[in-house]
């Protein structure tokens, strides 16, 4: 019982200290996370984190994302469930949305561009009257992406699109820079969000160098509003672009991208809840996110350093009083 009380004390104190400083995130830098381990998100939510926004390829955040300090952006992944999307967006009081994930790709949203335009006009466009920013369809960087987007825009001439999301996977900064500049020059009226990108090299050093160079560069481009590296997950076969280690802590890529050190690891995969899940996930190996019990990771909004230190001290005192009572 003494050991259990000490562990509780340490956990409570860590929670207080992690929340002791206000976050100062990079307004561009985000993550996509639809993992099955709620505790993993804390490493993106700590006080030193540069992460300012998140999404999970779904229209509703699970509780452990909703209660974090990171802004959640809902997505209408494809055509399924689109009639419920506006209600879900209003319920969250969201000010920005994403719509249609890789609609040009048969294994993703797989939508006809003209049909997608009709769905946009019926279900997405009305959200603009609420002051919500509308992110256009996120096409792939494959040869099908540009023609699909052109056809969609032609069929949706009076639609409001506040920014264009992009995806890119490949090797080397030259190809990445060439692609984003090509899209920018072709669709120059739209700001760009890069909602998925990664270097797919099997060389860890090359991937780390790519990430380091690209985040620095993207931060200098005024037409790049936001970006999200893919991905915030634990190791997978043949993937060298994951930000997390086997235990859920940040690896070298994660520490660079998140801008902080590991504060939490968790090895147990929690079972999914029975509450509502999202319509789809971007990667077939990533289970769609669902609703979990809240994880205590958000920082208090009142006070400052003095108040937080007082809270931490009170937490420490109450813990050790508990330990004393157990030993008596």
55 strand-pairing partners: 32
Q: Three-class SS of residue 224?
A: strand
Which runs of consecutive H residues, i.e. helices, occur in 222-265? 252-258
Q: Which of 230, 244, 218 is nearest to 27 (CA)?
A: 218
Q: Which of 325, 266, 236 is nearest to 38 (CA)?
A: 266
| 172-175 long-range contacts, CB within 8 A, separation 24+ | 172/199, 172/210, 173/210, 173/213, 173/214, 173/217
Task: Say how far apart CA 328 and CA 323 lie, in whole Å.
Answer: 9
**pTM of this prediction?**
0.76
pLDDT of residue 289: 25
- pLDDT tens for the chain, residues 1 to 328: 323 333 333 333 333 333 433 568 999 999 999 888 888 998 898 888 999 999 999 999 999 899 888 999 999 999 999 999 999 999 999 999 999 999 999 999 999 999 999 999 999 999 999 999 999 999 999 999 999 999 999 999 999 999 999 999 999 999 999 999 999 999 999 999 999 999 999 999 999 999 999 999 999 999 999 999 999 999 999 899 999 999 999 999 999 999 987 776 765 444 333 222 233 333 432 222 222 222 222 222 333 333 333 333 443 444 444 433 434 4
String of DSSP letters for 82-105:
GGGHHHHHHHHT-SEEEE-BSTTS
* Angle of helix 2-18 versus helix 305-327 axis, rounded to 10: 180
pLDDT of residue 260: 81
Alpha-carbon 264 to chain mean position: 18
Task: Say how far apart CA 88 and CA 55 lie, in whole Å.
Answer: 14
Residues 6+ apart with CB under 8 A from 40: 33, 232, 234, 244, 248, 266
* Residue where the block lists tokens 């009639």: 83
């Amino acid at each position: 019982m003494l050991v259990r009380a000490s562990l509780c004390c340490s956990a409570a104190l860590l929670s207080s200290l992690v929340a002791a400083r206000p976050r100062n995130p990079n307004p561009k830098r985000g993550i996509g996370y639809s993992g099955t381990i709620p505790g993993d998100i804390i490493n993106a939510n700590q006080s030193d984190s540069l992460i300012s926004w998140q999404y999970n390829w779904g229209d509703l955040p699970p509780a452990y994302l909703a209660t974090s300090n990171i802004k959640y952006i809902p997505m209408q992944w494809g055509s399924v469930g689109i009639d419920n999307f506006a209600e879900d967006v209003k319920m969250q009081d969201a000010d920005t949305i994403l719509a249609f994930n890789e609609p040009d790709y048969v294994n993703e949203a797989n939508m006809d561009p003209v049909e997608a335009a009709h769905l946009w006009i019926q279900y997405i466009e009305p959200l603009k009257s609420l002051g919500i920013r509308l992110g256009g369809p996120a096409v792939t960087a494959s040869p099908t992406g540009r023609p699909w987007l052109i056809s969609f825009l032609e069929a949706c001439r009076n639609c409001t699109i506040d920014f264009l999301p992009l995806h890119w996977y490949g090797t080397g900064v030259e190809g990445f820079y060439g692609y984003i500049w090509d899209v920018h020059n072709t669709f120059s009226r739209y700001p760009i969000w890069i909602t998925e990108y990664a270097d797919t090299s099997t060389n860890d050093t090359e991937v780390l160098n790519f990430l380091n160079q690209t985040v620095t560069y993207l931060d200098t481009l005024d037409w790049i509003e936001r970006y999200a590296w893919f991905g915030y997950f634990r190791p997978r076969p043949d993937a060298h672009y994951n930000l997390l280690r086997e235990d859920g802590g940040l690896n070298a890529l994660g520490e660079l991208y998140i801008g902080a050190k590991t504060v939490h690891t968790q090895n147990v995969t929690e079972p999914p809840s029975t509450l509502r899940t999202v319509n789809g996930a971007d990667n077939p190996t990533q289970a769609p996110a669902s609703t979990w019990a809240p994880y205590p990771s958000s920082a208090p909004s009142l006070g400052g350093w003095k108040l937080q230190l007082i809270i931490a001290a009170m937490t420490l005192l109450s813990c050790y009083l508990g330990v004393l009572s157990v030993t008596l």
